[in-house]
Amino acid sequence: MTGFRAWLHGAWLGTVLALQVGCAAPGTGEPAAAPPLVGGAPAGDGSQVIVVAVQNPMEALPTSAGSTPGLYSRKPQYATGVRAEQLMAEVAQAHRLQPLAAWPIRVLGLHCATLRVPDGVSREAVLAALAQDPRVALAQPLQQFETLAQASSPASPADLPAASATPRQMLATANAYNDPYLPLQRGVLALGVPQAHRCARGDGVRVAVIDTGVDTAHQDLGSAVPDTANFVDHDSTQFRRDRHGTEVAGLIAAQPGNGIGIVGIAPGARLTALKACWELPDGRATCNSFTLSQALAAALDGGAQVINLSLGGPPDGLLARLLRQAIARGVVVVGALPPAGSREGFPLNVHGVIAVQDATADPFGTAALAAPGREVLTLTPGGRYDFASGTSMAASHVSGIAALLLQHQPQLDGPRIEKLLREQAPSATEVNACRVLEAQSPSCHCSTAR
């Protein structure tokens, strides 16, 4: 068990406190079993649930929270202070709210909780009252978000189409590696990734994939995902069965030259898989303010240099605060453009987030970069491969290219990387890994054979 996983079973989960209040079962006098919390809400239903935060000063707190051991074990320990707990209890009682779960966010100096509004009471009215309460630093709805990929059924390698479908010039480039499905990776070839690897592979760059779980045992990931955390549940088996996060991780960090599959864009990167989204029976995956805030805080505490957010939803005050903190620190944050092309929701409404759209879709002006997002070959759970579509995939390509750039110049931030990508785009806003590396690093001549 890695240090990260050991921490997950200890300090962090110890701070996500189940504070459910049971009701008496009719005729028994015994508390009725409360519905299980999913994403900080009873049975995952957040319709009457809000998020409240109070100030949580850092002084003299000897235990950990909001950060991870292993690579994070050198950081100061942090927990909710007694005064912050008292404030939250006072707020809950004063507004007749049922505490559900609570957690501290070190990077914001906040103690947060999900609380349930009583039946028959307007959630909006409660939020309006909380906005006037001087003890409250933040109050908002518990909001839902979804990953931005189109679901399809898994395929085995034998199901994949023949490599002869790939244009001849791309096949010539594919000979740089012995991975049998590289000729089918039209997007990776069009981005000049095999050539870019002559200059950079993203070595040592820390990339946080905030998503569903990831099949960390997939043979084409190797040891690219050494650290994981699960902010949804304790189900490690389901974590490895999750599809969307596996697709994203595969595009970024699948290992080239092993003769078994595909080529990742930044195979030298060090991925942290932070599960904040859970899969639904219809193939979609959903997340909420509770799980995403914990994952973002962990990414920041862990020193992530790139954060991939292949998801979207409504504006969210707490999550926006965390992203602004990340961007202020120079973290590169990459987000997927929703199908309608709007940047009004999270995460793209936060200034400094790199928005990415599908290069094959109708363009939405110059507001977003463009990368492959249609029928992209990547990894799926159980050691399998399949094609995936959606702006989730497009965003993953840009996160991988960001890791390549950061290998050479770790001081680059999101706005500067976006500017470089735009300046070296071969057409409109479509990105190209080789061209941008040559422009950024004078010693890099990736378009020229060795």
Show which residues are catalytic: 211, 244, 392
Please count the residues of the chain.
450
Name the phi and psi angles at 177, rounded to 5: -130, 165
Q: Which two tokens stand for residue 428?
A: 């409109």
Rounded to 10 deg, the angle between the 414-423 and 391-408 helix axes is 100
Distance CA 374, CA 184 (A): 13
Q: Which two tokens stand for residue 22?
A: 């049971």
Comparing CA positions, the residue from 191, 182, 190 lying closest to residue 163 is 182
The three-point CA angle 50-51-54 to 5° equals 135
Distance CA 380, CA 154 (A): 7
- The 3-class secondary structure across the chain, one letter per residue, is CCHHHHHHHHHHHHHCEECCCCCECCCCCCECCCCCEECCEECCCCCCEEEEEEECCCCCCCCCCCCCCHHHCCCCCCCCCHHHHHHHHHHHHHCCCEEEEEEEEHHHCEEEEEEECCCCCCHHHHHHHHHCCCCCCEEEECCEEEECCECCCCECHHHCCCHHHCCHHHHHHHCCCCCCCHHHCHHHHHCCHHHHCCCCCCCCCEEEEEECCCCCCCCCCCCCCCEEEECCCCCHHHHHHCHHHHHHHHHHHCCCCCCCCCCCCCCCCEEEEEECEEECCCCCEEEEHHHHHHHHHHHHHCCCCEEEECEEECCCHHHHHHHHHHHHCCCEEEEECCCCCCCCCECCCCCCCEEEEECCCCCCCCCCEEECCCCEEEEECCCEEEEEECHHHHHHHHHHHHHHHHHHCCCCCHHHHHHHHHHCCCECCECCHHHHHHHHCCCCCCCCCC
Distance CA 238, CA 245 (A): 12
Residue listed under structure tokens 């309460």: 133
